[in-house]
Amino acid sequence: MTHLYNAHCIVLTHSVFSQIRVVVEEGLNQLPYSECTVTTPTGHKYDGVKFEKGNCGVSIMRSGEAMEQGLRDCCRSIRIVYNAKFPLDINRRKVLLMYPILTKYGSSCQVWITNRLNTVLTPPQDKEFRSLSLIESTVSLMVVSIIQEFPEITILTTEVYPVAPTHFGQRYFGTD
């Protein structure tokens, strides 16, 4: 993650996308699954697991898009929606909220999350939501207010640091 903080780094490298994949995989590990048996190409039976129906990834625009490919790589069949287009049955789904950097200044994102979840969740089912991020600031007012509003939400991150970089979206989209 060092190069993400480096002022001279222009392009995101493979390591950032590897970290995205790690946090996405952990989010998927926490989703419900059931046991199943499949037949291998050699005709043998294999006991494995498959995801339950109703999982959903929500990409919080704009930088949340950076996490979509990691989710698709791990789970091709998962539904991915954008922040303004929650499915009508969101109350029945297990949701992965994707936003790479939760900083002290993420108030607009926090307001959106709070308002949107309060609108669609009746009654609130915050335990069914997992927030996935790369870096969270230790002084993040956004994280504190999300936890206060939704105490059972699970927040997964790869790093907690006093000052999170605020330029992730610009680097991802090449608009520095």
What's the rounded mean pLDDT across residues 104-130?
Answer: 60
Query: Going by DSSP bridges, is the β-strand pair 33-39/45-51 parallel, antiparallel, or unpaired?
Result: antiparallel
Higher pLDDT, 46 or 145: 46
Higher pLDDT, 12 or 159: 159
Provide the residue range defining the domain that includes 164. 2-173
Both tokens of 156, joined, read 């997964």
From 62, 68, 86, select the one nearest 24 (Cα to Cα).
68
The total of structural domains in the chain comes to 1
Q: What is the pLDDT of residues 8-40, one digit of tens each?
A: 665 566 566 778 888 889 988 888 889 999 999
Q: Is the pLDDT of residue 80 over 60?
A: yes
pLDDT band at 170 (very low <50, low <70, confident <90, very high): low
pLDDT band at 44 (very low <50, low <70, confident <90, very high): very high
pLDDT at 140: 58
Task: Say what percent of the chain tops pLDDT 70.
Answer: 58
pLDDT band at 81 (very low <50, low <70, confident <90, very high): confident
Say if pTM beats, i.e. exceeds, 0.75: no
Q: What is the domain-level CATH number for residue 50? A: 3.40.50.2020
Both tokens of 165, joined, read 């970089």
What's the rounded mean pLDDT across residues 98-123?
Answer: 62
* Mean pLDDT over each residue of the chain, to the nearest integer: 73
CA gap 60, 63 in Å, rounded: 7
CA gap 118, 125 in Å, rounded: 10
